[in-house]
Each structure stands twice: as C-alpha cells, then as structure tokens.
Amino acid sequence: MFSPAPLRAAGLLSLSVFVSACSGQASESNSDPVTAISPDELTLLLQQPDVTLIDARSPDAFNGWVFDDGTLQLQQQGGHIPEAELFSARWIERKLDDTDRAWMRTGADKDDLVIIYGNGQGQANTVAEWLISEQKLEAENLRILAGGFPAWSEDSGKADFLPGFRTLVPPQYVGAALTADPDTVVVQIGWDGGKGKDYREEHIPGALYWDDLEFEYPPIYEASPVEDIRASLARLGIDKDDSVVVYSTESIGAARGAAIMKYAGVDDVVMLNGGIDRWKAAGLPLESGWNTPEPVKTFGVTGAGDNSVIINIDEAKILRQQPDSALVSIRAWNEFTGQVSGYNYFEKRGRIPGALWGHAGDSSWDMNHYHNPDHTMRNYHQIAEFWSEWNIRPEMQLSFYCGNGWRASEAWWYAQAMGYEKSTIYSSGWMRWREDENPVASGELTREQALEEWKQLESALL
C-alpha cells in the first residue's frame, strides 16, 4: 500500500480542495477533502509504489491533439503525462455503459494512491467525485494535480503520445480541416445495399455516402478488384490526391472503408475517432437528405493495389513462412477456438493454424476490447500490452485477419497509429481460407499452447 509519509515529512502534501458529492465542482464547504499537488510533487509521487495516474481529459487529448480553450490546434502536438491511464470525465458526464469496465482497465487497486489531472480542475473533480461515490475510494487516497496537464507541461516535460494520432481525428477536426482545405472530402461508410438509410436520416453536413457494395462483393464480402474500387471512388468524386475524412455509425465500417481507400491509392485518409455518435455528443450540426457527388474523370493511378495495406491469401501463406512473422486473428475468443462461426451466412468454424489471438470483442460485430466507453480507440498502451501477451510485437511482420476484413481493418488502423509499421490486413480472412480447403484448427487452448502452436508451425515451415 502507498504511504505518503515521506512526502509529508518533506512538506510536499499540503493544499486541499473539496469535491462536492453532487456537483463535481470545487467547494469551500463540503466534507470530502482531496489534496491538490504541484507538478514537482507529482514527479516525486510517481517514484513511489502503488500509485495510479489518471488522465481525465478526452481520448483525443490523451492521444496527442491540443485544444486551446476548446479550439483544436491543428499544428500542435500534445499527449499525456508518461505512465498515465486514460479515464475521461466525459464518460462519467454522459453516463456511458462500460464506464465501470474502463475504470477496471486502469489497473488501479482500491488501496492505491490515485492522482488525477485534466485540462484544469473541473475534469479531475468530476472523476474524483465519481471515484468516491461510485467506487467507494477514500478521499485521502486521491490527489488532484493543480493546474492540470498545462501546468505539468509548462513545468516539466515531454509528453507521451500516440505516434500516429493525426490519423485518428476528433470531431472538431472536420470543421478545421475544411477551413484549412476546402477540398477535403468527408465520407460516411454504410452497408445496407446502397440505400443509405442512416445517412439519409442524419449525417455530417456535406458528407458523401459510400456503401460497402461499392468496394466488396458477396457471398463472403471480399475486397473488389482494385480497379473497380478506383472507378467507384472516381464516381464519388475522389482521386488519389484528395484529403478524405471517413466516419460511420460503427468504427469497423469506417476502418474498413478507410483501409480500402488507402489500398486503392488514396494517401491522405483519416478516421473520425468514435464515429457519428461522438460528433453528436460534441453538439455539432447534422443534416439530412442526400448529397450527390461530382465524379472525377480519373482516379489518377493504375496497377496493383497497395500490398503494404492489404495482402491476398497467397501472400498470407508466404508471410506464415517468414521468420518472426504471424497472422493475427481479430475475432472473439469463441470464434478463435472454433466454438462458433460468428456469422449467420457462413457456418464453417475454426482458426488458421498457428494464428495468434489479437482480441476483438464479444461477437463478430463487436470490438469492445479495443474501445473506450464512447467507442473511441482504447488507451494504446493497453492494446500493446494484450498484444504483447500473445507475442505480437511492433518489429514483427504481422497481418491481421477476421472473418472477411472489417474487424481486422480496425485493428490494423490502430496498429499503424501505434507504430506497428510492418503490419497489413489479410483481408479475405477466415472465410476465404476455409473455402479454399486450407488447414484449419479448433478447440480450446491456453495462450501458452497457442504460442507453442505458432512456434512449431514457424519452425516446420522454415
């Protein structure tokens, strides 16, 4: 258990603020004192055992985006205090599902000293109040960083940040990007046979609609030939040199569409972190109806698609024969072990032998292992941690797969942002692997057994 005695002896624990049990604001008269500390005191405390540091700001600020009085600063880079865990006050304010699970993911023990910071004091107060009222933490085990992240940044130091944070953008980015470059294209990805029902009801003003049947085809929804994809993008008014912001109602749809665009040759593609629900939560405007695109004459590039983004089944087989390489299954555990297929239109179960489990969620549509309560990207340190447990490392040649590429695309997008630069998507996934009568495996297994299976396969192939 953490003991603050050495710091008290040094005269470093002195100032207290009061957290209201109902308002989340600092108070002169309420009964729960929470000590405020300086950046210097924070530095000393972080050298002690059993201390958890909490960043109460938005996931975007944690990743690296800078907001000045609520205005996004496109050219600046921020981040978070090293060793901080993300737990946003906004999740509490919005009363989101999975907030309790997000707190558990921080790894904080009830006896830890918990230090909280925000942009100022309000966000930290909100989290402190929630921890006292909902998690039954003692106020004496909480600290708030006076002045928040700006005070720490001015006083000390170098922030940690998601290396590719600029590929995963906050809602405020869209307006800022359109102001900076009026030719920026905003695209909503959908998958209802081209009807665009959700899009017609509400979408980001000016956004275009791109249905999945424009870039993949049944029965197992593999990516279309790359020239067909390029022709579809040209009809949408997009060429290889455009800047594109992609979003959807579900992040796997946005990631699938964004990855397909990059595979076709659009270099400047970013994804809205948290999708349209996050846009709405920010109170930003919506419109209804249909925006008709103005086609371009040519997409601007021909030839094979970019195999640093998507590889085919033959390339996936070759990758499995390379040292320090692996296919990574982005499927629910019961899909990975062959208990269910995961799809109502594809019954065959199992996994690719030697695949490593990269986590996913609870179903073929769910990616909650990768998501915060607001469906933004989870703390990337935590993703790296559960990947590392399965020997999935940034220096390896990796190719993510799922059933047919959707969940794999989201994992790949995050991997690229995290600096796993050698990763690709085996887009045709389990379905094509199984349809072509390749070797399969199934059955419950431990992590150690799965790693041994991978090592034996790698050794045999070499």
Q: Sort residue 294 into left (φ over 0), alpha (ψ -120 to 50) or beta.
A: beta
Contact (CB, 8 A) for 443 and 353 = no
Task: Classify residue 221 by its DSSP letter.
Answer: T
Contact (CB, 8 A) for 324 and 331 = no
pLDDT of amino acid 11: 38
CA 380 to CA 385: how far, in whole Å? 8
- Domains by residue range for the chain, with CATH: 5-155 (3.40.250.10), 165-281 (3.40.250.10), 310-461 (3.40.250.10)
pTM above 0.85, yes or no: yes
- Model pLDDT for residues 75-111, shown as the tens digit of each residue: 899 999 999 999 999 999 999 999 999 999 999 998 9
For residue 283, count CB atoms less than 10 angstroms from its CB and return exposed for 0-12, middle for 13-18, buried for 19 or more: exposed
Q: Please name every residue paired with 86 in a beta bridge, in sequence order, or none if there are none.
A: 55
Residues recognised as catalytic: 402
pLDDT of amino acid 32: 64
pLDDT of amino acid 243: 96
For residue 73, the surrounding DSSP H or E stretch is strand 71-73
CA 364 to CA 245: how far, in whole Å? 25
SS (H, E, C) 230-279: HHHHHHCCCCCCCEEEEECCCHHHHHHHHHHHHHHCCCEEEEECCHHHHH
pLDDT of amino acid 323: 86
CA 346 to CA 321: how far, in whole Å? 28
- Model pLDDT for residues 306-326, shown as the tens digit of each residue: 999 999 999 999 998 888 999
Rounded to 10 degrees, what is the CA torsion of 334, 340, 346, 349? 80
CA distances from 396 to 320, 381, 421, 433 (A): 12, 18, 9, 22
Q: Which residue ranges in the chain fall short of pLDDT 70?
A: 1-32, 157, 460-462
pLDDT of amino acid 26: 41
pLDDT of amino acid 322: 87
